[in-house]
Structure 1
Amino acid sequence: MPSSQESTGTGLGTVPYDVFLNIIDMFIKDAQRCLASTSWMIQYNHDTPSRLVVVDHTLSNGENPPSKSSVQLSRWFNIRVPSQINQMTRAMVHRHFIRASSLDPRGNRTVDAWVRPEKDYFVPFFGNHMHELLNLERHFQQAIFLPTPEAAPLLEAIQRVIVPQGCYFCHTNARALAALATLPNLRKIFMDVGHYFPQSERAHFHHSTGPIKHEVFPELSIWSISHGHSFEKVYRPLKNRRIPLYGTVSGMERPLVEIYTSKGQLRFKYIPSECACCSMD
């Protein structure tokens, strides 16, 4: 049996290699105990082999923004040793942490980010119909439709997506929704539904449904009037994959409602706080 000295050059020649790998596995499991998640903006970047980069959405773009969040620093610190020893230990790390090209909030290249597929959220680039961003938006979508080999690990890591409310579900953005539908491991989509004013009739049992009322969800009600007619069609590629759209409210850790269509009408169903099957994890 080869020793860790023969494979890694660490000088631990008396340690059997399988024991050494068990130690590395303990390093990785210890890193996984950090339950903190982060959200990433995904953008197109022609200068990287993957054509896609991530930007830490939790960082400020102020005058002196930090290059890494506390979550990233923690991940980097915990897995830097096993990720640098040899090909085998790097492969062990990459089963749980995905390396991705990264930019800081100002658009400067930084040290690659570590993404946790089962914890992190992703915000797709959206030009919001601004003419000067259309080409960049098309390149971004094309990088998802026809990914380079280097982009595959990042795209496979995307399980949860956060989309802006606004015009993301309008008919002119159908191609963006179709691109999201190609993500192989996408499980859930989240959208901020704005203000929420609880009513006494709120049901407390699972899957209680209802129409979107202005007095309960004022912003969501306005959105449903302006974009509800196009939602069913543009969301169909995702609906065909049974990927739900959840509505979130600021200050709440869990999604509040699931948004769906029935007989051409937008509706919602409440998600009780104790419901584990609809959690954001």
Structure 2
Amino acid sequence: MKLRNRLHPISVYTVLILLSFMFCVPFLFMIGTSFKKYEDIASQPLNPVPLRPTLDNFTLLFQKLPFWTQFANGIMIAVSISLLAMLFNSLVAYGFARYEFRFKNGLFFVVLSTLLVPSQLTLVPSFMMFRSWGWLNTFYPLILPASISAMSVFLIRQVMSAIPKELYESARVDGSSELGTFLRIALPLSMSGIGIVGVLAFMNSWNDYLSPLIFLTNEKRMTLAVGITTMSNPYKEDFATPITGACLMAVPVLILISAVGQKYFVSGLNTGAVKG
């Protein structure tokens, strides 16, 4: 029995390590390929280790693409969406968690039902609307629609609903305004849900390809996700440069996840499961 108890965690950790390695293999190939010469990529495509490391792919990437301009565009859009998403979604979630009003459950059901509508279905009417407003080739069509989502409202509402109502009532007794109660009670105690909403909003915006492709036309206003795809040349195969761009594009997300931390990330994702 003692031997079985010792072997069980060892087998579990072994399986987890193998699965983690399988997920890391594509990233290893991406990093290794970005430092390979084209001849090495063509002759040994399955070898992730660059035999003759070079920085030519990075130089060529910066020559073909206004990389830092598009990189800054993507960062600015993603950070703006992340901050606005944390603000707007938390305000809506606070209203559903804090107040009791007529048709509250029905209205919340309507909010959640928007998750059933595919985003591609609204592209044409959104394009016509933003064109009539003169917003095409600006960042407004990318930032404002992505600043609020039903899933984010649901997640933050679940966190705020778990806060004891006595805390809200004691704050009001002490003379705090409704805005003060929101800022001093609801926000600090809901940071796990609000933080994960900000992280997911940043990642979704940073990896978004379709919206910038539809609403932006100027190359210097493009984001990096679209800019990398414009380097495709039907007359000359080039695998290294787009992969190098994808490798650099993964850096902000890796830094963000490392800064947030695994424990905070997992706790935020699992928060909605502790209270219905």
TM normalised by structure 1 equals: 0.23
TM normalised by structure 2 equals: 0.24
The structure that has the greater radius of gyration is 2
Q: Which has the higher contact order (CA 8 A, sep 6+)?
A: 2
Select the structure that is richer in helix. 2
Select the structure that is richer in strand. 1
